[in-house]
Amino acid sequence: MTGQPELFGFAAGALIAVVTAPVGVSGAVFLLPVQLSLLNVPSPAVTPTNLLFNVVAGPGALARYHRHGHLGGPLTRLLIAGTLPGVIAGAVIRVFAVPGATAFRVLVGLLLLPLGLWLCARSLRPPRHRDPVEGSAAMSAGLSSRFIATLSLAVGIVGGIYGIGGGSIIGPILVGRGMPVAQVAPAALASTFLTSLTGAAIYAALSFTSQGAIAPDWTLGLTCGLGGLVGGYLGARLQPRLPETALRLTLGALATALAALYLLQTIF
């Protein structure tokens, strides 16, 4: 993209984060195609650049949630315990197993397509109401601590490969299973922030031992992240005023459309 890519990246980061932060998603999952297609960030450097976006953008929404006492708790600890080692493994897999742009787009499409369709289906169905209590009671009815920890590990690996920290996957899954957004969103964002910080550091270290574009694009990562910092804070502030069903449906439709685009690009 010619002109001022940093300014465009800042605006894109801010706009995406405003929409996604209220449901516990940093927005990196939707910033990825912008970096690949419009900002021309090479692969696999686009993955650590996305993780860098999460690191810079995360504190905006987290500060807002912390101010209202919504951070911490057993769910946050479980997500971090699973996704943190997962993102390290995912970073290694991304560099040495799926470095090609075509393979990466196929992986992205296969990941987003079922998640997007599932989000749309869950959004259109009447929600199952559960009491938003803390601790193990909030994880009952099939959501045991072991299940959440195992899911977090798997999502962390995918997040390390994809450059999204994992929160954008596990957050919708937990909310779709009936947990309240007010409980899941801060925990998912906290997990995303810490795993992204670790993942970006791993990619930076791997850049000294491997050939190719592996280190993050620091300028774009920082400018996109600054936009996400502002947008994430605003999004977290708007959460109580936004209809949850509409947000879920929008995220699901966007994920489905992006998946279809990526898969078509690998065919034609």
Residue of 79 and 199 predicted with greater confidence: 79
Is the whole model's pTM more than 0.85, yes or no? Answer: no
Q: What is the pLDDT of residue 213?
A: 63
On whether the CB atoms of residues 60 and 228 are closer than 8 A, the answer is yes
Query: Does residue 230 have a pLDDT over 90?
Result: yes
SS (H, E, C) 235-261: HHHHHHHCCHHHHHHHHHHHHHHHHHH
In sequence order, what are the residues at sequence separation of 6 or more whose Cβ sits closer than 8 angstroms to the Cβ of residue 19? 27, 235, 247, 250, 251
- pLDDT at residue 24, rounded to an integer: 79
Distances (CA, A) of 138 to 82, 184, 199: 18, 10, 29
265: exposed, middle or buried (Cβ count in 10 Å: 0-12, 13-18, 19+): middle
pLDDT of residue 141: 39
Q: Which whole number is the average pLDDT over 90-115?
A: 74
Check whether 42 has a pLDDT greater than 80.
Answer: no
Residues 69-96: what's their mean pLDDT? 82
Tens-digit pLDDT profile for residues 192-221: 888 888 877 877 787 777 666 667 788 888
Average pLDDT of the chain, as a whole number: 79
CB 241 within 8 A of CB 74: no
| Torsion angle of the four alpha carbons 46, 193, 135, 89, in this order, in degrees rounded to the nearest 10 | 50
User: What is the token pair recorded at 197?
Assistant: 């910080």
Residue 115 has pLDDT above 70, yes or no: yes
Angular region, 183: left φ>0, alpha ψ -120 to 50, beta rest: alpha
Q: What is the pLDDT of residues 129-181, one digit of tens each?
A: 544 444 443 444 357 888 888 889 988 887 777 666 677 678 777 876 778 77
